[in-house]
Chain A
């Protein structure tokens, strides 16, 4: 082998090693959680309410709470985020106001989640009298998710070739028809990716739900959207740090359920994305 080939070999090996290094922590975390938590998972753990001060029983109310919060968050943030992105990309003229809106969207995604929690608490819980409720929690999480959804949707819309818009407009279609038939269908995979990404984050956040929805110990299902609810991340925090003498296996099992839930959401998005990609004919 000559020098150039050896060098190339070394470089490729290095790059490969670095790539492995990125994957390793993720795999280790998941593996660690599975090893420590899988043994505790049982049908009862998944479907029963916690008993004896959370030392026994299951985490069903927390699972339901988190699922409800994710659904609520999606209901508020997805339409709002996608419509805002459509306006910004397809309609807004490039003036000072638009630029300010775009800048604040970018900046919003950098705000710590606890600040969203405090904001949601003052606005939704106190000012709008929604109380500590699933509704207030969903709205808070939705505000937190918006910047990511808007940014991802914007990029998805911008990546649709301009010629499609030109074709449609040149045939006399209206702006909205153009967006509806010639832009949106091709942007959906990107929109979905961004949405699921931000929803997975919302599912795992503790700070925004701390003051707005989460119940410390509520061993029953919520009755309505105005009810408090347990949620997996907060429950995990509580049993790990706030209540003494809870077996660590229960914490890991709870973590495993949360990770599995997020993974499931990602799986759904991957399937949906593949489905829409197949429909795209270029």
Chain B
């Protein structure tokens, strides 16, 4: 079933303690789409992202109702390890492990049971190439990953995620700490990855959303206000609140 959405949420409500941070979210995300999620701080964007691979559950006070479907299957029936292998995430700040560059990328495949030096070397090389980082690091794979620049670290994070062969990649404001050139490189990588992956981009930068995404969703105070083709959303939004946000009247 090609037309079936990769991710579908049905009436998703998320809570931290008694505070409801997402209210009845219904979204369908088709294969190979880059969908942007925009909205001011505290609108629930990150919570939505982290609900998809159940990272919210690391917080003790978190609870949710409703359904999240991955390829038509309720994710509550998929184990944590498999779910997070299929749905990778890139965090806001580049977060690398304090080990060499190579090992950072090899870590994922290794915990999923991939063995054999050649196989792993191949996976690492491919992942680094696809994240547009290979040329910059191929001669220093044994160096600590923390020595890379912020932008390189963020692309290393993308490579690390690609190495476990996910279906969906979540980006949680991936360029918030990066300079414009590094940002452009990350965005290039995203465009290239479009052929093989579904990508969800949470961003505070509306310009980035308009550059990168095909469809865009606007979240406000836990509500999904509007979702539609990025061009329409930015030029002719249906909801006044969306218009106010993207024209910079608040947020």
**Distance from B59 Cβ to chain A, minimum over Cβ atoms (Å):** 11
Contact assessment for A172 and B81 in the assembled complex, using a CB-CB cutoff below 8 Å: yes
Query: Complex Cα distance A174/B112, Å?
Result: 9
B184 close to A (CB within 8 Å): no
- Whether a CB of chain A sits under 8 angstroms from the CB of B91 is yes
Encode B61-92 as 1/0 by CB contact (under 8 A) with A: 00000000000000000001111110011010
- Quick check: B81 and A173 within 8 Å, CB to CB? yes
Looking at chain A's contact residues, is the secondary structure mostly helix, strand, loop, or mixed? Answer: helix
Bound-complex Cα distance A170 to B91 (A)? 10
Number of A-B contacts (CB under 8 A): 69
Which residues from B are CB-within-8-Å of A168?
97, 107, 111
Contact yes or no, B95 A171, CB < 8 A = no
Residues of B within 8 A of A169 (CB): 55, 58, 80, 84
Closest partner residue, chain A, to B54 (CB atom):
A169
Instruction: Decide if A186 is an interface residue (CB 8 Å cutoff).
Output: yes
What's the Cα separation between A281 and B111 when bound, in Å? 21
**B53 at the A interface (CB under 8 A):** yes
Q: Does B100 contact A (CB under 8 A)?
A: yes
Residues in chain B near residue A186, CB distance under 8 A: 98
Known A164-B97, A281-B100, A281-B146; contact A173-B58, beta-carbon cutoff 8 A = no
List chain B residues, Cβ under 8 A from A173. Answer: 81, 107-108, 111
Name the one of B81, B95, B97 contacting A174, with C-beta atoms under 8 angstroms: B81
Do B112 and A172 touch across chains, with their CB atoms under 8 A apart?
A: yes
Cross-chain contact A171 with B160 (CB below 8 angstroms):
yes
Contact of B144 (CB < 8 Å), options: A93, A170, A174, A281? A281
Q: A172-B164, A173-B111 are contacts. A167–B81 as well, Cβ < 8 Å? A: no
CA distance A93 to B61 in the complex (A): 11
* Pair B60/A93 contact, Cβ less than 8 Å: yes
Shortest B160–chain A CB gap in Å is 7
* A78 interfacial by beta-carbon distance below 8 Å: no
Q: Are B58 and A172 in contact (CB under 8 A)?
A: no
- The answer to whether A44 has its CB under 8 Å from any CB of chain B is no
Distance between Cα atoms of A163 and B111 in the complex (Å): 17
**B108 and A171 contact, CB distance less than 8 A:** yes
Within 8 A of B (CB), among A117-171: 163-164, 166-171
Whether B114 is near chain A, meaning CB under 8 Å from some CB there, is no
Would you give 23 A-B contacts (Cβ < 8 Å), ordered by A? A163-B91, A166-B91, A167-B91, A167-B95, A168-B107, A169-B55, A169-B84, A170-B53, A170-B55, A170-B88, A171-B88, A171-B111, A171-B161, A172-B84, A173-B108, A173-B111, A174-B111, A181-B111, A182-B97, A281-B98, A281-B144, A281-B145, A282-B144
Q: Which residues of B contact A (CB under 8 A)?
A: 53, 55, 58, 60, 80-85, 88-89, 91, 95-100, 107-108, 111-112, 144-146, 160-161, 164
Given contacts A171-B88, A172-B84, 15 further A-B contacts (CB under 8 A): A166-B55, A166-B91, A166-B95, A167-B95, A168-B107, A169-B58, A171-B108, A171-B160, A171-B164, A172-B82, A172-B112, A174-B81, A186-B98, A281-B98, A281-B100
